């Protein structure tokens, strides 16, 4: 065992010396290789983190949300709707919600105004989301004015800023009391934006939704599982789309690696010939080249993956932000919970390390099994 | 005494592998103590969507948007917002 280990170390020493003779070329290859792994791993970790975070927090979203549609668009819930729902068996709890959107021309951003169900917010006060507070420079106690859609100016005092940790979900929220909400939006009395429902038996959610749709044909029930599925497919789609864009880079790298690995230079051929002529066995030549491939590909994998980890989980995926931000003014600053998916990691390893190592070995093996004399003469 | 190149290379790889294991450990530790504040806020307010795209109502509340949302202004009026290009088209099965 010790002999085997010493032999491998000598082979590694020799491989490193061989790599060192073509230093610039090999360092360039290592940099391009690491960059490729970094980009692929960043996309993978970022979408995995977002997917898991959405799954974790949306598990607490309402079981059923009931909207009313008029001519294919969402409309307000009129008075009397709640009473009709109350007669449907299986509905445990229902809550009519008030929420809507407001465009703030000062910072050109959209806010979500919402009346919290349980929390009581005194008249004239607001609780604001952290991204909004940052954009408008607000802290608790500040005053802020909004011009309503009716043209009246309303001034509110900021009672509290929601915690930064919840920014992914609450970046643009403005929470206010029901009376303030109705006055600000001139919201018709007795009307609501939508209704949230909880169902006594979780297995009955689909049946209850079917009953709701039958009893209230103009309604559209949205189930929690649909909300979760929407986000799972959204992040899958985004990951797939980015990876499709990156497929070009991946192919370019594959061509580079193949060209480097399969097209043995005359110098490399002569080197193999000399090694065989001085007594190296085919197996030794292959082992030496195997170590060369492993050192480059494994180093690139580790450098790329660890850099992607730091980028996504410690630098908040800074390079992806401009892509994700779109045209939005308010964009949440959020830190994803680190996630490792063993299968994804194995897939990344297999598709980056394995092909390169294999591509290095095949031409070397072909050169190494030929006669040293013939190899040196070609 | 100078170090052999193989010692440096194997040491570097071992360090990298230790870093890889550290990422697993970090993920494991964070999974044991997740932030309870956000799920509590989602439960309290009945939130349905992350505030990732706030430029339009159908991207802010993707799960609650109209079925016709991306083309809502006109049947041929394609969507204005770049984030919609990141959202999958509906399935036609």
Average pLDDT over residues B20-30: 92
Residues of A in contact with B55 (CB under 8 A): 110, 326-329
Residues of A in contact with B80 (CB under 8 A): 327
Token pair, residue A86, equals 């109350």
Q: Give A369's contacts (C-beta < 8 A, 6+ positions apart).
A: A282
At B88, the pLDDT band (50, 70, 90 cuts) reads low
In chain B, the residue whose alpha carbon lies closest to the alpha carbon of A174 is B45
Is the Cβ pair A324, B83 closer than 8 Å? Answer: yes
For A139-196, the DSSP string reads -TT-EEEEE-TTS-EEEEEEEEE--GGGHHHHTTEEE--HHHHHHHHTPPTT-BSEEE
Beta strands at A173-175 and A109-114: parallel, antiparallel or unpaired: parallel
Task: Name the residue ranges covered by the structural domains of chain B.
Answer: 5-34, 38-86
Cα(B81)–Cα(A328) distance, integer angstroms? 9
Is the Cβ pair A340, B24 closer than 8 Å? Answer: yes
Token pair 């979203």: residue? A61
Q: Does B77 touch chain A (CB under 8 A)?
A: no
Q: Where are the alpha helices (DSSP H) in A224-281?
A: 224-262, 266-277
Fold (CATH) for A64-223: Barwin-like endoglucanases (2.40.40)
Closest CA to B63 of A92, A229, A203, A290: A229
CATH 2.40.40.20 residue window(s) in chain A: 64-223
At B81, the pLDDT band (50, 70, 90 cuts) reads low
Is the Cβ pair A59, B39 closer than 8 Å? Answer: yes
Query: What's the pLDDT at B75?
Result: 46
Q: Give B85's contacts (C-beta < 8 A, 6+ positions apart).
A: B79
At B70, the pLDDT band (50, 70, 90 cuts) reads low
Using the predicted structure, report yes or no on whether residue B8 has a pLDDT greater than 70: yes
The dihedral of CA A317, A320, A322, A327: what is its sign?
negative
In chain B, the residue whose alpha carbon lies closest to the alpha carbon of A327 is B55
The answer to whether the CB of A317 falls within 8 A of the CB of A336 is: yes
The answer to whether the CB of A161 falls within 8 A of the CB of A363 is: no
Token pair 């480059």: residue? A296
pLDDT in tens, chain A (378 residues): 688 888 888 888 988 888 888 889 889 889 988 999 999 899 889 888 888 888 889 999 999 999 998 887 889 999 988 888 888 888 888 999 999 999 999 888 999 999 998 888 999 999 999 999 999 999 999 999 999 988 899 999 999 999 998 999 999 999 999 999 999 999 999 999 999 999 888 888 999 999 988 989 999 999 999 888 888 888 887 778 778 878 888 888 788 777 766 667 777 778 888 888 888 888 888 888 888 888 999 999 999 999 999 999 999 888 877 776 667 788 888 888 888 888 989 988 988 888 888 778 777 777 777 777 776 666
Is the Cβ pair B83, A295 closer than 8 Å? Answer: no
Token pair, residue A353, equals 């390390």
Average pLDDT over residues B2-29: 91
Q: Does A221 touch chain B (CB under 8 A)?
A: no
Cα(A100)–Cα(A112) distance, integer angstroms? 6
The answer to whether the CB of A35 falls within 8 A of the CB of A304 is: yes
Token pair, residue A91, equals 């509905």
HSE toward the beta carbon, residue A130, CA cutoff 13 A: 15
Q: Which residues pair with A92 in a beta bridge?
A: none
Q: How far is A234 from chain B (nearest CA, A)?
A: 6
HEC readout, chain B: CCCCHHHHHHHHHHHHHHHHHHHHHHHHHHHHCCCCHHHHHHHHHCCCCCCCCCCCHHHHCHHHCCCCHHHCCCCCCCCCCHHHHHCCCCCCC
Token pair, residue B65, equals 């948007």
Is the Cβ pair B46, A61 closer than 8 Å? Answer: yes
Closest CA to A238 of A51, A39, A37: A51
Query: What's the pLDDT at A313?
Result: 92
- pTM flag (> 0.80): yes
CB interface of A with B, residues 20-49, below 8 Å? 20
Query: What's the pLDDT at A193?
Result: 94
Closest CA to A310 of A321, A297, A319: A319
Q: Does B5 touch chain A (CB under 8 A)?
A: yes
At B60, the pLDDT band (50, 70, 90 cuts) reads confident
CB interface of B with A, residues 26-55, below 8 Å? 26-27, 30-31, 34-35, 37-55
What DSSP element (H or E) covers A287?
helix A282-309
Using the predicted structure, report yes or no on whether residue B3 has a pLDDT greater than 70: yes
């Amino acid at each position: 065992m010790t002999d085997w280990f010493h032999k491998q170390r000598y082979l590694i020493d020799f491989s490193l010396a061989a790599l060192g003779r073509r230093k610039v070329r090999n360092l360039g290859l290592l940099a391009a290789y690491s960059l490729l792994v970094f980009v692929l791993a960043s996309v993978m970790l970022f979408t995995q983190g977002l997917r898991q975070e959405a799954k974790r927090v949306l598990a607490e979203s309402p079981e059923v949300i009931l909207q009313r549609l008029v001519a294919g668009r969402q409309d307000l819930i009129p008075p009397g709707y709640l009473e009709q729902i109350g007669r449907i068996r299986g509905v445990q709890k229902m809550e009519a919600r008030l929420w809507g959107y407001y465009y703030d021309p000062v910072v050109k951003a959209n806010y979500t105004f919402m009346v919290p169900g349980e929390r009581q917010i005194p008249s004239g006060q607001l609780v604001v989301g952290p991204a909004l507070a940052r954009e408008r420079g607000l802290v608790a106690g500040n005053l802020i004015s909004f011009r309503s859609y009716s043209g009246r100016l309303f001034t509110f005092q900021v009672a509290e800023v929601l915690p930064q940790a919840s920014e992914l979900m609450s970046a643009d929220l403005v929470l206010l009391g029901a009376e303030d909400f109705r006055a600000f939006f001139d919201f018709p009395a007795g009307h609501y934006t939508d209704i949230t429902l909880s169902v006594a038996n979780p297995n009955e959610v689909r049946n209850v939704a079917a009953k709701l749709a039958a009893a209230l044909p103009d309604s559209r029930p949205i189930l929690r599982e649909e909300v979760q599925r929407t986000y799972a497919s959204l992040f899958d789609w985004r990951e797939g789309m980015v990876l499709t864009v990156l497929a070009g880079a991946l192919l370019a790298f594959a061509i580079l690696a193949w060209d480097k690995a399969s097209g043995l230079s005359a110098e490399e051929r002569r080197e193999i010939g000399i090694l065989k002529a001085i007594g190296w066995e085919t197996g030794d030549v292959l082992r030496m080249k195997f170590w060369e491939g492993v050192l480059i590909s494994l180093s690139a994998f580790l450098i790329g993956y660890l850099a992607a980890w730091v980028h996504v989980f410690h630098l908040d995926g800074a390079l992806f932000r401009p892509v994700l931000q779109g045209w939005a003014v308010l964009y949440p600053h959020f830190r994803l919970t680190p996630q490792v998916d063993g299968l994804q990691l194995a897939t990344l390893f297999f598709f980056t390390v394995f092909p390169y190592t294999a591509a290095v070995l095949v031409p070397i093996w072909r050169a190494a099994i030929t006669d040293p004399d013939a190899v040196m003469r070609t | 005494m100078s170090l052999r190149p193989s010692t440096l290379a194997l040491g570097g790889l071992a360090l990298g592998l230790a870093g890889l294991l550290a990422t697993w450990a970090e993920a494991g530790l964070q999974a044991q103590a997740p932030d309870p504040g956000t799920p509590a806020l989602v439960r309290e307010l009945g939130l349905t969507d992350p505030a990732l795209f706030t430029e339009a109502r159908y991207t802010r509340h993707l799960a609650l948007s109209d079925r016709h949302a991306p083309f809502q202004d006109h049947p041929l009026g394609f969507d204005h917002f770049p984030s919609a290009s990141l959202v999958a088209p509906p399935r036609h099965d």
